[in-house]
Amino acid sequence: MAKKIALEEHFLSPGLVDYWKPTMTEVAPEIVGGLLKKLTDFGALRLEGMDRNGIARAVLAVSGPGVQVERDTATAIAKAKESNDFLAGEIQKAPDRYSGFAHLAMQDARAAADELERCVKQLKFCGAMINGHTNGKYLDDPSYEPFWERVDALGAAIYLHPVDPVVPSPALEGYKALRRATWEWGFETGSHVLRLVFGGTFDRHPRARLILGHMGETLPYLLWRFDSRAKLYGVKLKKPPSHYIKDNVWVTVSGMFSAEPLMCAIAALGPERVMFSADYPFENSDDAAQFMDSVPLDEKLRADIAYNNAAKLLKLT
Ligand code: MN
């Protein structure tokens, strides 16, 4: 069994449960209860699953949307800080098994940058997980420049996690089963990344490191088309769009335990850009690990994807 680091592994702190519950309205109450039990556990339930699957370390992150849907900025800032301190306390109880991504109140770019710095420098977190747009504002917005400057300065990784769009697409009208993780989130999150690429965020911050789940939210499959159309539309960037996705983006296999897209991600982005993850507890860690351990791969590459690539990116050993 390959030794693994998993980095899209969710938890909930007591103050953030009420932001999460509305995302579960379509799910049966007994399933929601089971998920909540796993999200708020940092002991046997989580650790036994990690042990069973060779997950040496889990980088924990809030299950979204968290404070990013809070309308009052001061409340969002205070609750994010409280959640980060809570996570730091849990990590302290098992520092050889857990690491953390910061939760940030993106309503205020400077406060988010300050909290990221506090989390990275004082709490030794690996970076931050951001749950998509914040009340409709995406990360290419000019108001986020101070945030990206700090991300650059800290060398922190930003995991961009899906969230519901501001307005559901009319194309999905009448098909609830196509919303969220089925299809909607891939387009929403992929579009968010393309806003950063086409908006020049990575030209201004070439050291920014973005992590995407779900094998890259379909982007690795589409690189040629981005470059071809960017030329046609006269997009003014220093490099073709695909180069930013190859240079600034890492992807994980979270919630996408399938060989074909894995091969595409490796071929499109490079073997050092793909990492393991489960998306616990929304996916089964047993399924994730079984996929990682059995998918046909050269053993050196399996070890890199399962552990080494994440250890290098997040400076974990
Ligand atoms: Mn997730």
Mean pLDDT, residues 238-263: 98
Give the distance (Å) from ligand 1 centre to CA of residue 228: 31
Write down the pLDDT at residue 43.
97
CA distance 48 to 81: 29
pLDDT tens, 28-37? 999 999 999 9
pLDDT for residue 229 is more than 80: yes
Q: The CATH number of 4-314 is which of 3.20.20.140, 3.40.630.10, 3.40.640.10, 3.40.190.10? A: 3.20.20.140
Does the annotation mark 279 as catalytic? yes
Query: Confidence class of residue 132 from pLDDT cuts 50, 70 and 90?
Result: very high
pLDDT band at 317 (very low <50, low <70, confident <90, very high): confident
pLDDT tier at 26, thresholds 50, 70, 90 = confident
Burial, 53: exposed, middle or buried (Cβ in 10 Å; 0-12, 13-18, 19+)?
buried
CA of 24 to the centre of ligand 1 (A): 13
CA distance 116 to 179: 31
Residue 62 has what pLDDT?
A: 98
Give the model's pLDDT for residue 213: 98
Distance 280 CA to ligand 1 centre (A): 7
CA distances from 274 to 7, 125, 193, 261 (A): 12, 21, 17, 11
Distance 277 CA to ligand 1 centre (A): 9
Q: Are 160 and 130 in contact (CB under 8 A)?
A: yes
Percent of the chain exceeding pLDDT 70 equals 100
Question: Which of the following is catalytic: 141, 164, 203, 279?
Answer: 279
Cα 63 to averaged position of ligand 1 atoms, centre (Å) = 7
Q: What is the 9 CA–ligand 1 centroid distance (Å)?
A: 7
Nearest CA-CA partner of 128 in 73, 190, 81: 81
**Domain parsing of the chain, residue ranges:** 4-314
Q: Is the confidence at residue 99, as pLDDT, over 90?
A: yes
Average pLDDT, the chain: 97
Give Cα 49 to chain centroid, integer Å. Answer: 21
**Strand partners for 60:** 9, 100
Residue 163 reports pLDDT greater than 80:
yes
pTM: 0.98
Question: Would you say residue 218 has pLDDT above 90?
Answer: yes
Structure confidence at residue 124 as a pLDDT band (50, 70, 90): very high
If you average pLDDT over residues 284-294, what whole number do you get?
98
- Residue 195 bridge partners (DSSP): none
Sheet holding 209-212, edge to edge: 4-11, 55-62, 98-102, 127-130, 157-160, 209-212, 249-252, 274-275
